[in-house]
Structure 1
Amino acid sequence: MKKLIILGLLAISFVSCQFSETLVMNEDGSGNLSVEVNLNEMMAFGAGAMGDSVPMKLDTIVYIKQFLEEKKDSIATLSASEQKKLKALENYNIGIKIDSDAYEMVYNIATNFKDISEANNIHEGLGQMGNMAPNLNSNSSEGKKKESSEESIGVLYTFNNGVFKRDAYIKDEASHKKEVDSLKNTEAFLSSSKYTLNYTFPRKIKKASNPKATFSADQKTVILKESFVEYFKNPDLLDLEIELEK
């Protein structure tokens, strides 16, 4: 989560960004999960300052398994724990779309899974985007050995017997407190930033634990939205338990 914050804060300066999780679940428990960071407001805000700069267009997908193979010599110089973290992300793909003329900048990380628990480290993957995105990390080098720091917030997903659960939790209280304190100077500028969950299930939803949740007309999709800053301060705000109809 810390790297996600850094990605947002450093990239947007004083302009808000929007975060969203999109889940499509199949009857057998398989499906697709993606997390998106939308920086379109930053692009629109910076358009005037860019003046006559060269337009930028980029639309690409980074297949992490392929990336790890291509960079295996550099990765081999990392510690065993760092290599293990990267290996755990090999089934994820990172999408990057930038169009300066259309004021568009969107990043996302996605994975197909056989069981939703396979996606429990998707937010760690989002934090690695700066190291894997082509043409966006000019300070990186082939032999870079910088090790990643631990995320202070984690998310666990489960789906058993027709019940889906999303449980966000603080992994490191001390680290989390420091990160919350670091938000104080920019909190006002991030006031319009939202974190949205958009989950679609194979059957109608019988009930949802969060009273702020709204539903699609067919009752198969649940939407839950919260202030990004408030969510980061208190991850429980986006905890969710969904019970499907039999």
Structure 2
Amino acid sequence: MKKFILLFAMVCFLTSCNVTESIVFNENGSGQFLITYEMGEAMKVFEQSMGGGKSDSEKEEGGETMDTTMVFADIMETYKDSVAALPEEKRLAMEAVKDMFMNMKMNEDEGVMNFGIGLNFNSIDDLKDINEKIRKAQSLNSQGDQVGSMKENSPLGNFFGSENSKTGYILTENSFARVTQIDIPEGAAEDAMEELFNEEDESNQQFMDYFENAFYNVKLTFPKPVKSIDVEGAEFSKDRKTVTYRINWIEYLKNPLVLDANVKFVDE
């Protein structure tokens, strides 16, 4: 039961939401990386599990709204004395992500709760350690330790926030590639999948219900039109400079490489 509660909480935090990985490239190779967790549905599920519904007075007052962006470098400068007093692990995490930002958008009445972590980069080389930076940024959240504990008690730990999973990006004059590298002991992935998708485990079926409606979205915007992409079902903007695709979480769990893509640009 304890394991089930931990897994359920992790699902609500990490997988009952849609995730969007967005990269916008400028002509000079700079751009912005942003990964957004859309947790509105998870928030509704949580409210329902706690009894759901609001009183008439609460409805009249309206729910909480928030739209804020926090730049780590600014926080470190403004609260430098407090940062210096942090435990070494937290302080080093702040130093590692000082060039990143976090944003939060919330509208309780509309069921919106989006949490984003981003980086304004000068070149694609700045993205080589993006997975590690995101993990460190998440660890600064007050719930970071709880989520870490949840992952340790879950067969999903190999794929969510694991140091063994890295995403690389390659940009040339004529192409772009998203490449996932997973370095785990031989047989570990198979064992994790066998445990996760064990149909005899009733709790697993509940997770599958959540996963069915959860997707990982990738949105790529380039300064030049896209000629082709080797992802079935990908959609293009009218000018073909933006391409988007999404993968169901179940398919992603079975094979994280399904998020990878090779893009060819239109010859100019």
TM-score range relative to shorter protein: 0.7 to 0.9
Q: Which stretches in structure 2 are left out of the alignment for 5+ residues?
A: 1-5, 147-160, 198-203
Report the equivalent of 1:187: 208
In 2, the alpha carbon distance for the partners of 1:64 and 1:11 equals 27
Secondary structure of 2:85 counterpart: helix
Report the equivalent of 2:156: none
Post-superposition shift, 1:63? Answer: 1.8
1:93 aligned onto 2:101: yes
Alpha-carbon spacing, 1:7–1:199, altered in 2? closer, same or farther (3 Å): farther
Offset from partner CA, 1:99-121 (integer Å, 9 cap, x none): 32321111111111111231233
In 2, the alpha carbon distance for the partners of 1:242 and 1:14 equals 28
Offset from partner CA, 1:59-106 (integer Å, 9 cap, x none): 33232234454423324x239xx93x6533221111122232321111
Alpha-carbon spacing, 1:38–1:14, altered in 2? closer, same or farther (3 Å): closer
In 1, the alpha carbon distance for the partners of 2:106 and 2:35 equals 17
Q: TM-score, normalised by structure 2?
A: 0.70
8 Å CA contact 1:154, 1:170 repeated in 2 = yes
Alpha-carbon spacing, 1:91–1:38, altered in 2? closer, same or farther (3 Å): same
Offset from partner CA, 1:36-73 (integer Å, 9 cap, x none): 11011122334443444875444332322344544233
8 Å CA contact 2:15, 2:249 repeated in 1 = no
Offset from partner CA, 1:108-159 (integer Å, 9 cap, x none): 11111111231233333443454434xx54989xxxxxxxx85231100121
Report the equivalent of 1:32: 32
8 Å CA contact 1:39, 1:106 repeated in 2 = yes
Report the equivalent of 2:200: none
Alpha-carbon spacing, 1:8–1:28, altered in 2? closer, same or farther (3 Å): farther
Report the equivalent of 1:17: 17
Alpha-carbon spacing, 1:14–1:28, altered in 2? closer, same or farther (3 Å): closer
8 Å CA contact 2:247, 2:258 repeated in 1 = yes
Q: Which stretches in structure 1 are left out of the alignment for 5+ residues?
A: 1-5, 141-148
Q: Select the structure that is richer in helix.
A: 2
8 Å CA contact 1:7, 1:127 repeated in 2 = no
